[in-house]
Amino acid sequence: MIAALKRPPFIGAIAFALVFIFTAIGHSVMVLIMDIFGSAQFLTAFMQGLLGTVMIYVGVRYNDNENVATWLGFFGGSWLWAGWVEFSYVYFSRHVGIEPMPLGGGRQQLPEYLLLPSSIGFLFTTLVFFYFNRETRCNAFRWMHKHLHTPVGKPTLNYQRNIATIVAMEKFYITWFFYIVLLLAYDKRIMGAQHPGMYVMFFLFGVWSLYLLNRLRKYTRLPSAFRYAIATALVAWNTVEILGRWRFLKEVWVEPQKYTVQMALIVGAFVTVFVIFALFPSVDTPDKDDARAPQPAE
């Protein structure tokens, strides 16, 4: 039984479950910070971001231990996003007096999510750096280099990746990108949650998730599976977000005080999967989708 769990497809499935469940928990953490700390929420959020920075730095120092660097990068990037980014929009949306937008049925779009899409210029600007980075091993970027005929040069021989910062930015940028995609799509003046285009979008997210899951199930190494799972789970999470928006399901993670038992179960599931994951020994064979390509992307 245990031996079977150490092989594909379980390695990828467990990595996926971890990131997927953690995304829900991240929502609850933010709601709880707002509720528990009240007027001190911004100081708490600042400390949360600082903790994320420290985790990434510890990961940088442990770069020789791929598992540790990957985990610290993931949690560091998540805390940076939740602490510094989410709450900077909460703060400034109130500071400039943006009102919530009614969505009907007593629900409303919070001001911070009306303001967040304004960062779209910064998203694409800073992505230019990562996109034109010849050391990148991002499958999506390398696919684009090849198919858009935009070679960026040969990667440096013997270049050691700074795993914690890369994983942190992977988590950060994928979260940022899909937040903006969904918020733009939800905007009634652009498309709207009930627009037919949303069904197409939901279908595409479903197909994309399955494609990524099919690749992820073949992974044999924990850290590379986990890095690939970040993208896979966050793409798949969009389908959950859209279903929640359409009220097909109850998003218990945005009301953790009301759905305490359900959230406790989710946290329990996360801890269980985490322990199983942490007990697995690492395999040294590089995975196909994480290995340096024999022919660089040009």
Report whether 179 contacts 118 (CB < 8 A): no
> Shortest Cβ distance from residue 223 to another protein (Å)?
18
Q: Which helix (H) or strand (E) holds 42?
A: helix 41-61
Positions 110 through 139 that interact with another protein (CB under 8 A): 114-115, 117-122, 124-126, 128-129, 132-134
> Shortest Cβ distance from residue 16 to another protein (Å)?
25
Distance of alpha carbon 53 from alpha carbon 50, whole angstroms: 5
Distance of alpha carbon 78 from alpha carbon 172, whole angstroms: 7
Name which of 49, 187, 166 is nearest 118 in CA terms. 187
Nearer to another protein, 33 or 213 (CB): 33
Q: Using the rule CB under 8 A, is 68 a contact of another protein?
A: no
Q: Using the rule CB under 8 A, is 273 a contact of another protein?
A: no
Peptide bond into 9 cis (omega under 30): yes
Span from 80-88, 210-218, 232-240, 266-274 in contact with another protein (CB under 8 A) = 80-88
The amino acid present at 93, given as its one-letter code, is S
Q: Using the rule CB under 8 A, is 98 a contact of another protein?
A: yes
Between the CA of residue 136 and those of 60, 127, 151, 244, what are the distances in Å? 17, 12, 12, 34
Indicate which single residue of 92, 177, 259, 270 sits in contact with another protein (rule: CB under 8 A).
Answer: 92
Nearer to another protein, 86 or 287 (CB): 86
Distance of alpha carbon 112 from alpha carbon 94, whole angstroms: 8
> Shortest Cβ distance from residue 281 to another protein (Å)?
26
Positions 162 through 201 that interact with another protein (CB under 8 A): 162, 164-165, 168-169, 172, 176, 189
Name which of 18, 37, 171, 188 is nearest 102 in CA terms. 188
109 phi, psi to nearest 5 deg: -85, 120
Nearer to another protein, 123 or 240 (CB): 123
The amino acid present at 149, given as its one-letter code, is H
Distance of alpha carbon 122 from alpha carbon 99, whole angstroms: 24
Indicate which single residue of 39, 95, 104, 149 sits in contact with another protein (rule: CB under 8 A).
Answer: 95
Positions 27 through 66 that interact with another protein (CB under 8 A): 49, 52-53, 56-57, 60-61, 63
Residues that bind another protein (CB under 8 A): 49, 52-53, 56-57, 60-61, 63, 76, 80-81, 83-89, 91-93, 95-98, 114-115, 117-122, 124-126, 128-129, 132-134, 150, 152-153, 156-160, 162, 164-165, 168-169, 172, 176, 189
